[in-house]
């Protein structure tokens, strides 16, 4: 697949056409990121308005979108190379817009959950193709890094604005506007797709059906087990069965891919140190940042007694610093390299997360904003660096697969959130009866935050040990 290369006078500048393309691609990822966070705040009102039977059933409003996105990413990463990345991207945005409209007009739980499944399928089409189009349009080097930096910042900003905007919208209007606003964004992105260059030849390889089925079932089982384990209990037979099925499917998948003539995920790509270790770093930074963000939400609402709207505002520092990190990422990667930037990002994320053990039972707003802001800054530096690492040094026909693999950590990083939640619960139970209930909860949160910080620092060490040499060879 050969892309139309857009080269402005200054090779390091994106140029007007480059910025228009980037705005379109980032608009799509912003829309998908916004969708995951904006609906979370609106869940209580959705439950009351549509008559959901229980909190457990209401949680399916979020899970119904996440499951198909995670399980279909590898499939659509490969389909993009066969049918064309631009074509699949446009189809994904169009479907997402339509299903967002159906969700906003839903008259009952079944209709809303079905629409959320549709949104999840469309998001699985958007996520890998947006990154693959970036790595195709912008050649390897400063311009690609700058594009990925902007994308990482916009994606993080989408989460923060979704958390804050969800509270504002549900307070001032109603929950339906959390879906209808996505329709307007989707329409703008569709209009922007006229700027996307048409690509050349597409891959003639046949689709690996066994690989697609195994990866889809395995990822579905993994995310389902993680999503329901906290509520059902990690010893629940369904949870254990789901996780066991995921392990079996992944094992069989690797054996099938080894023998298939045109595998869904070529093992030569999966076995590249930059891909497998970069993916692990992505899993660490996304899992620990996502899990810590949940812990901070609990801290603000259950310890400090913030309202949902105030809690959303409490994440503004994280969003602003994430945006700054995205703007600086290309320059820092030029100075330090991807491994150096990744290491610095993880160290900053780890130290700031560990420092959250100092968050008090009352007050402490300055410390909250400082630590969460630093965490967001380090996290986005790491995200841009690991995606740059995973998508560098590859042939154009491998970019679709690599792009899908680079997006996968954010959907399976729920393992990190579940792990931190389990740490917090165990520590809370250990402290139960020794002090007040609020202090007990805070003790559990502190322990989980310290754990997240240590994991990030371990990730920084792994990046130095396993990625320094491969990164140099790729360069």
pLDDT tens, 379-421? 999 999 999 899 888 777 777 788 888 888 887 777 787 788 8
User: What's the pLDDT score for residue 288?
Assistant: 93
User: What's the pLDDT score for residue 461?
Assistant: 96
Question: Is the Cβ–Cβ distance between 128 and 77 less than 8 Å?
Answer: yes
Q: Indicate the angle between helix axes 209-232 and 414-431, nearest 10 degrees.
A: 20
User: What's the pLDDT score for residue 473?
Assistant: 42
Q: What is the pTM of this model?
A: 0.85
Closest-CA residue to 219 (of 69, 61, 419): 69
Q: Which residues of 298-334 are buried (b: 16+ CB within 10 A; e: fewer)?
A: bbbeebbebebbebbbbbbbbbbbbbebbebbbebbe
Work out the pLDDT band at 293, boundaries 50, 70, 90: confident
Query: pLDDT higher for 352 or 419?
Result: 352
- Rounded to 5, what percent of the chain is helix, strand, coil? 85, 0, 15
- Distance (Å, rounded) from C-alpha 165 to C-alpha 176? 13
pLDDT at 57 over 90: no
User: What's the pLDDT score for residue 440?
Assistant: 92
Q: By mean pLDDT, which of 180-184, 245-249, 439-443, 470-474 is the weakest?
A: 470-474
For residue 199, give the DSSP letter: P
Closest-CA residue to 85 (of 449, 400, 432): 400
Closest-CA residue to 411 (of 134, 2, 12, 62): 62
Work out the pLDDT band at 4, boundaries 50, 70, 90: very low
Q: What is the mean pLDDT of the chain?
A: 85
Q: Which residues are CB-neighbours of 72 under 8 A, at least 6 positions away?
A: 120, 121, 124, 125, 216
User: What's the pLDDT score for residue 225?
Assistant: 84
pLDDT at 53 over 70: no
pLDDT at 129 over 70: yes
The helix/strand/coil state of 473 is helix
User: What's the pLDDT score for residue 393?
Assistant: 81
pLDDT at 234 over 60: yes
User: What's the pLDDT score for residue 316?
Assistant: 85
Q: By mean pLDDT, which of 71-80, 167-176, 189-198, 295-304 is the weakest?
A: 167-176
């Amino acid at each position: 697949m050969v892309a139309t290369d857009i080269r402005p006078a200054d090779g390091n500048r994106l140029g007007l056409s480059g910025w228009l393309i980037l705005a379109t691609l980032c608009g799509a990822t912003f829309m998908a990121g916004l969708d995951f966070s904006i609906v979370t705040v609106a869940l209580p009102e959705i439950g009351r308005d549509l008559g959901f039977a229980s909190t457990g059933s209401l949680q399916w409003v979020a899970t119904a979108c996440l499951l198909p996105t995670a399980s279909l990413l590898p499939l659509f990463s490969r389909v993009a190379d066969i049918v064309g990345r631009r074509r699949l991207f446009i189809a994904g945005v169009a479907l997402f817009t339509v299903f967002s409209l159906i969700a906003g007009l839903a008259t009952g739980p079944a209709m809303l959950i079905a629409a959320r499944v549709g949104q999840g399928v469309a998001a699985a089409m958007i996520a890998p193709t947006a990154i693959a189009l970036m790595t195709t349009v912008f050649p390897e080097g400063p311009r690609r890094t700058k594009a990925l930096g902007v994308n990482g910042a916009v994606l993080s900003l989408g989460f923060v604005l979704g958390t804050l905007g969800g509270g504002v919208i549900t307070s001032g209007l109603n929950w339906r506007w959390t879906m209808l606003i996505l329709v307007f964004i989707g329409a703008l992105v569709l209009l922007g797709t006229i700027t996307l260059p048409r690509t050349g030849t597409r891959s003639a390889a046949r689709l690996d059906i066994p690989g697609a089925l195994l990866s889809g079932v395995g990822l579905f089982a993994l995310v389902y087990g993680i999503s329901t384990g906290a509520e059902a209990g990690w010893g629940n037979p369904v949870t254990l069965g789901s996780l066991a099925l995921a392990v079996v499917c992944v094992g069989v998948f690797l054996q099938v891919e080894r023998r298939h003539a045109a595998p869904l995920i070529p093992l030569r790509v999966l076995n590249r140190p930059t891909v497998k270790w970069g993916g692990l770093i992505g899993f660490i930074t996304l899992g620990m940042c996502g899990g810590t963000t949940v812990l901070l939400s609990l801290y603000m609402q259950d310890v400090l007694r913030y309202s949902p709207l105030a809690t959303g505002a409490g994440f503004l520092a994280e969003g602003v610093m994430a945006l700054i990190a995205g703007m600086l990422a290309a320059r820092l990667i030029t100075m330090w390299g991807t491994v150096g930037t990744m290491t610095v990002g993880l160290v900053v994320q780890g130290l700031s997360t560990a420092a959250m053990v100092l968050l008090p039972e009352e007050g402490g707003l300055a410390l909250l904003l400082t630590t969460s802001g630093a965490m967001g800054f380090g996290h986005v530096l790491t995200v841009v660096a690991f995606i740059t690492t995973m998508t560098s040094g590859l042939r154009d026909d491998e970019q679709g697969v690599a792009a899908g693999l680079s997006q996968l950590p954010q959907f399976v990083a729920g393992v990190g959130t579940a792990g931190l939640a389990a740490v917090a619960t165990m520590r809370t139970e250990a402290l139960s009866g020794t002090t007040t209930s609020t202090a007990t909860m805070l003790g559990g949160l502190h322990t989980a935050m310290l754990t997240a910080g240590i994991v990030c620092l371990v990730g920084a060490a792994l990046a130095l040990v396993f990625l320094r040499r491969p990164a140099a060879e790729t360069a």
